[in-house]
Structure 1
Amino acid sequence: QAGPGTIGRIVRVLLAEWNRFGQQVMMDGRVIQRGWRETQRGFDDRVGLFWRYGTGINLDGDDTDHPWSAAFISYTMRTAGVPDHLFPRSRRHSTYIHFAQQNALVNDPDTAFIAHRLEAYAPKVGDLVAYTRSGAANYDRYVNRARYKSHTDIVTYVHHGEIGVIGGNVADSVTLKRLKRGGAGRLIDDSHAWFAVIENRLPLR
């Protein structure tokens, strides 16, 4: 079991890596503050750590044909102490998006990660937000698909009208995205084809 304070540990890992990579920021789909790149000296090796510890795959930041964003999420979860049976580490975001969507169908109260439609749930710190790179932003389209092009970031703060999410391999770095949220707290950002929020039910503190 993931111990007390798991979400806090997840956020600390994310912020540490974001600081390490120079605090790159993206808003409305464009970089407004530039950080360090995946191929720069030292940072390519750090991406290699994400790959190896997150997925067991021996790649690094110089292997630019291989997106490392899911490896970064997997590294974050493992470093924070989240066991594989609660969050399946993978080189593909779709693996754990599918896992969370299937959890939602079962509705098991002991499930740690459960997917929601954007209009049905307001993201909170520790949750993941997901968008597709494979067509329309339709939650139902992906319920029974475990392999497709996609991306997730993890929520690190929630403010009035905005959430901050951190992910890897975003404009070649570890990047904070500032995303719009509506009056009910729902994600309304249109910079990507967002289609799901994965609720993180692990302990906050």
Structure 2
Amino acid sequence: MHFRDTISGPALASASLDPVSGLPFNVEPANVAISSYNTPAWSAAFISYAMNSAGVSRSDFRPSSAHVFYMDGMIENYLADPDSAAFRPHHVEEYAPRPGDLLCYDRSASPLPNWEARMAERGRSRPSHCDIVVRAAGGTIDLIGGNVMDVVLRRRIPVDAQGIVLPPPLERPPFFVVFENRR
């Protein structure tokens, strides 16, 4: 089995409306042991745990308590060996995410325009967030992320006819990279 399949998980029924897109999303209660660490944020730890649980090697994905540091590792792996890196960074406007991929956004006051811009500040902290794509169909993708509204949250966001993620509203953080899961 590929770890893309393990990461993506089953589809669930809709429960509410996403505050970003206005489309349906699901709320999955956080594990009590994890949710007690909501200060400081535990969203990167959630992604790291999901990757580890799916069998992703530490050489392919370096667990971190900050999203930008595991992103730095995935970018470094890709730049060192583009043909065999487990994760390939893509510009959001050029790649249609699939289940098992990571979609990331920048929460800073001066958001990064794309993944290449991250290389200029590699190793430095930056407020960011990534979600795991768990479904892509019917003009939307479903994402699961940790510490979103203090829970593990399944959200649905719109994509265009080719499956490219549409930009969020101006008041929301912009997406700046999709990491294609190549395993």
TM above 0.5, one fold?
Answer: yes
CA apart distance, 1:26: 5.2
Task: Give me the TM-score of the superposition, normalised by structure 1.
Answer: 0.74
Is this contact kept in 2: 1:128–1:152, CA < 8 A? yes
Say yes or no: does 1:111 pair with 2:85.
yes
Once superposed, what is the RMSD of the aligned Cα atoms?
2.6
Is this contact kept in 1: 2:82–2:88, CA < 8 A? no
1:7 matched to which residue of 2? Answer: 4
1:100 matched to which residue of 2? Answer: 74
Is this contact kept in 1: 2:26–2:154, CA < 8 A? no
Which residues of structure 1 form unaligned runs of 5+? 48-60
Return 24-33 or 77-86, whichever deviates more: 24-33
Is this contact kept in 2: 1:122–1:187, CA < 8 A? yes
1:44 matched to which residue of 2? Answer: 32
Q: 2:131 aligns with which of 153, 162, 167?
A: 153
Say yes or no: does 1:80 pair with 2:51.
no
2:118 matched to which residue of 1? Answer: 142
Q: Which has a greater percent of helix?
A: 1
2:151 matched to which residue of 1? Answer: 173
Task: Give me the TM-score of the superposition, normalised by structure 2.
Answer: 0.83
Cα 1:30/1:63, change in 2 over 3 Å: farther
Q: Pick 1 or 2: higher relative contact order, CA cutoff 8 A, min separation 6.
A: 2
2:40 matched to which residue of 1? Answer: 66
Residue type matched to 1:165 in 2? L
After superposition, the C-alpha distances for 1:122-171 in whole angstroms (9 at most, x for unaligned) are: 11111000001112241143123232111000110001210001011011
Is this contact kept in 1: 2:16–2:25, CA < 8 A? yes
Is this contact kept in 1: 2:88–2:179, CA < 8 A? yes
CA apart distance, 1:107: 4.7
After superposition, the C-alpha distances for 1:163-197 in whole angstroms (9 at most, x for unaligned) are: 00101101111101111111221111404311110
Residue type matched to 1:136 in 2? P
Return 172-181 or 101-110, whichever deviates more: 101-110
Cα 1:186/1:30, change in 2 over 3 Å: closer
Cα 1:33/1:185, change in 2 over 3 Å: closer
How many angstroms apart in 2 are the aligned matches of 1:34 and 1:153? Answer: 14
In structure 1, the residue corresponding to 2:89 is in which secondary structure?
Answer: strand
Q: Number of paired residues?
A: 175
Identity in percent:
31
Which residues of structure 2 form unaligned runs of 5+? none
Is this contact kept in 1: 2:25–2:156, CA < 8 A? no
2:162 matched to which residue of 1? Answer: 184
